[in-house]
Structure 1
């Protein structure tokens, strides 16, 4: 078994291996992580506590997980690794709704993060977002006038979240808003966390056109908090592997655009 001598680089590599394993498998016991890394149970418990404190993983009785539940959202770092092909397809289809010169607001979902390369190509655009990573992707683009929306920084979401009087969201009116959320059915959208719900609602109200981007893994499910009715959106961009019955139901309240996966 490898030595447990403190070493920042080896600890980082070990924790990355743990996150990668949970990304693939969803969950694991501490004993499985000991076998995976070749380190002691005490070291693994320290790693688990540190990663949980950062919001990258979640502890439960008997193990750890990086998967979301109906109550807790998984971290942005984990969510970025999920369903990349579907996110790319959604972004390509959604980007066709944008025209140069528009003002565009984008939430802190990793689904909408996939819009970044398309936004840079379509410009000039004014882009408003609370997602730090999206700001990083666009900050050097000369065709983008970037406005970062403030608030309290959330490590697990890698974004800034706060009420309208702190964020200044109530003062904006934009051409188009892009959002995704945790789950939806044909009538309602849902999210696990109330503070995120409150932020998303204010962002949504700023848009003349309001676009919801969802892959099939989020459809036909619910989470702890109701967000808004599907009819609050003007458009739904959804992957084409969603059941036809759902499309028929939701098509009565919102314009549906199918993204080919």
Structure 2
């Protein structure tokens, strides 16, 4: 058992916690001793990591170890999503950014891929940005040349965004040039999400846009979830990373314009 931090082998905190999360999700449960050996840090450090991951709602603590929460819980958690497939999301954001022209009005959802895109769009001035995501609001707030419209509603700590009937009604009052969204799952024909409140907001967003863009990394492909969101063919563009399989790519291209983003 590792009792102290091993010099040169300890991972940075965020990367270590991501490793712990992926290890537990793959196995269902794990012990503190096992995670200490895996990460090459002390048991005390692992305990602190697990306390934080439990606080975020990613994992569940029990005496001597930790277990995975149901996938519908941790996959919705923003803190978890922020640490997953970062390079792929940034590549997708770069490709999607090319679709946006100065002077447009765009609506961004509360996905982490849309957040990555927001950081690139600050230079596409002038621009009108509509969003229900608090962190996207933070990106654009106070920026010259940006008209920012924040969608209200019931605050969701899990998503760090605003949802519910007030949000849907706010979206319904608007019409934008382009809506850019992501979701948790899709197959060759349909997109899905595991949460009803999220689906209702995303559907309203899609109905408000002249052009609709779907942003999806490969981990969300060839999967389904409880609620149907919209057919793939309803989107004008689909932006995916280069990890997509060839057969699925061919099927998707029969239904919409697909742009494959290379990870640098």
TM range (shorter): 0.7 to 0.9
Are 1:63 and 2:66 counterparts? yes
* Partners of 2:129 and 2:230 in 1: CA distance: 23
CA contact under 8 A between 2:21 and 2:58: conserved in structure 1? no
* Partners of 1:149 and 1:64 in 2: CA distance: 36
Alignment deviations for residues 140-199 of structure 1 (CA, whole Å, 9 cap, x no partner): 321211111011111111111112576511100000000000011000111111111111
C-alpha distance 31-241 of structure 1, shift in aligned 2 (>3 A): closer
Aligned length: 244
Alignment deviations for residues 33-87 of structure 1 (CA, whole Å, 9 cap, x no partner): 895664599x88xx75x854x5531439973337x72576341111111111111
Aligned Cα root-mean-square deviation (Å): 3.1
* Partners of 2:147 and 2:167 in 1: CA distance: 23
CA contact under 8 A between 1:23 and 1:81: conserved in structure 2? no
* Partners of 1:22 and 1:156 in 2: CA distance: 20
C-alpha distance 228-63 of structure 1, shift in aligned 2 (>3 A): same
Are 1:29 and 2:30 counterparts? yes
CA contact under 8 A between 2:20 and 2:35: conserved in structure 1? no
CA contact under 8 A between 2:32 and 2:43: conserved in structure 1? no
Equivalent of 2:110, from 108, 111, 125? Answer: 108
* Partners of 2:95 and 2:130 in 1: CA distance: 20
Specify the alignment match of 1:187 in structure 2. 189
Q: Secondary structure at the match of 2:223?
A: coil
* Partners of 1:154 and 1:128 in 2: CA distance: 18
* Partners of 2:192 and 2:224 in 1: CA distance: 6
CA contact under 8 A between 2:106 and 2:179: conserved in structure 1? yes
Specify the alignment match of 1:81 in structure 2. 83
Q: Secondary structure at the match of 1:29?
A: strand
Q: TM-score, normalised by structure 1?
A: 0.81
* Partners of 1:32 and 1:181 in 2: CA distance: 36
C-alpha distance 106-171 of structure 1, shift in aligned 2 (>3 A): same
C-alpha distance 122-86 of structure 1, shift in aligned 2 (>3 A): same
C-alpha distance 31-87 of structure 1, shift in aligned 2 (>3 A): same
Runs of at least 5 residues in structure 2 that lack an aligned partner in the other structure: 4-12
* Partners of 2:44 and 2:60 in 1: CA distance: 19
Q: Secondary structure at the match of 2:152?
A: coil
